[in-house]
Amino acid sequence: MHKVVIALVSFSLANVAASVQAKELLANDRFMCSWGAGTAARAQELKLSGVSLYAARQKIHAYPFNKSWMRMMAMGITEQTYDSPSRFKPAAVRESFYEECIRYKLARK
């Protein structure tokens, strides 16, 4: 019984530490990860539907972006998505990208 209580307390402390770390991220970092995850999911959706990389690039060039860095970042994410042999669903790509991006941002701190 004592070991169970210790395990539960350890698990609770780990969750608190993880939530504190997530709060330490700047809002801009969370926005970039979320935006990038959405971009990767859209690229995966286009790839799975048979749209060529050339056509996907044309869509990116035609889209109006709010920030100057977004167009080139979208191009890079799209090209990496097309280069990957992955056939995952777009929702899985979004989740994976977001989690890895957050992990990367936290590791840099």
Residue 82 pLDDT exceeds 50: yes
pLDDT at 5: 38
pLDDT at 92: 97
Residue 20 amino acid letter: V
In terms of C-beta distances under 8 Å and separation of at least 24 residues, what long-range contacts does 50-55 make, across chains too?
A: 53/78, 53/79, 53/82
SS3 for 37-104 is: HHHHHHHHHHHHCCCCHHHHHHHHHHCCCCCCCHHHHHHHHHHHHHHCCCCCCHHHHHHHHHHHHHHH
pLDDT, tens only, 42-79: 999 999 999 999 999 999 999 999 999 999 999 999 99
Tell if the pTM clears 0.85, that is, is over it: no
- Residue pointed to by tokens 């998505």: 81
pLDDT, tens only, 17-48: 444 445 578 999 999 999 999 999 999 999 99
**Shortest CA distance to 106 belongs to which of 33, 40, 38?**
33
